Homo-oligomer: A and B are copies of this chain.
Amino acid sequence: MQEADNPWSVIGSREVYENQWISLTEYDVINPAGGKGIYGKVHFRNVAVAVLAVDEQDRVCLVGQYRFTLDRYSWEIPEGGCPIGTDPLEAAKRELKEETGLVASEWTRLQEMHLSNSVSDELGIIYLAKGLAQHEAQPEETEQIVVRHVPLREAYRMVTENIITDSLSVAGIQQLWIRKLEKETAI
């Protein structure tokens, strides 16, 4: 499909915040219609990696944790940050092992998403991990994580009932459910 050149112009900018994970820059812009305005953009230093770890009984590994940003508990697939420029697959393996103790022998890159593109440049990558072996988990100190293995059908129900609301988890579980349905319709 036909795509246009960048219709935005930047005429100034100032970095207003940074920490270990993000920086926020305010840009003075001229918008596509020629009007002056500002745009606050959050840059992420990490790519978000997420892992759908599925065992031989078609159970999906979920981790439960309290999300500071939402001030509520959240059930998700294991996720973590991968510093931009380093290998996201290695980060996915590390996060899965740390949070759940699982080590997988088969890895497939399922999907990429921009999570919140009105404000940030955050990229998420979802992996499918199979051939699981259980080792010891080593969660980071900021994480107080509960691990559950739930049937894919149950995980998908949690998505449709808005019990699982994390965007990477929703997209990953739906993608796996599609693969299951497509196998069935192909029969």
Contact = CB atoms under 8 A, between A and B. Distances in A.
Interface of A: 1-8, 16-17, 19, 21-22, 24, 26-27, 29, 31-35, 37-42, 44, 48, 64, 66-71, 73-75, 79, 81, 111-122, 124, 141-144, 146, 148, 159-160, 162, 165-168, 170-171, 174-175, 177-178, 181-182, 184-185
| Identical copies in the complex | 2
* Interface class of chain A by DSSP: mixed
A116 B111 contact: no
Contacts of A74: 114, 117
B41 A42 contact: no
A144 B7 contact: yes
Contact of A178 (B3, B29, B117, B181): B181
6 contacts: A2-B146, A4-B66, A41-B69, A113-B165, A114-B165, A177-B178
A64 B142 contact: no
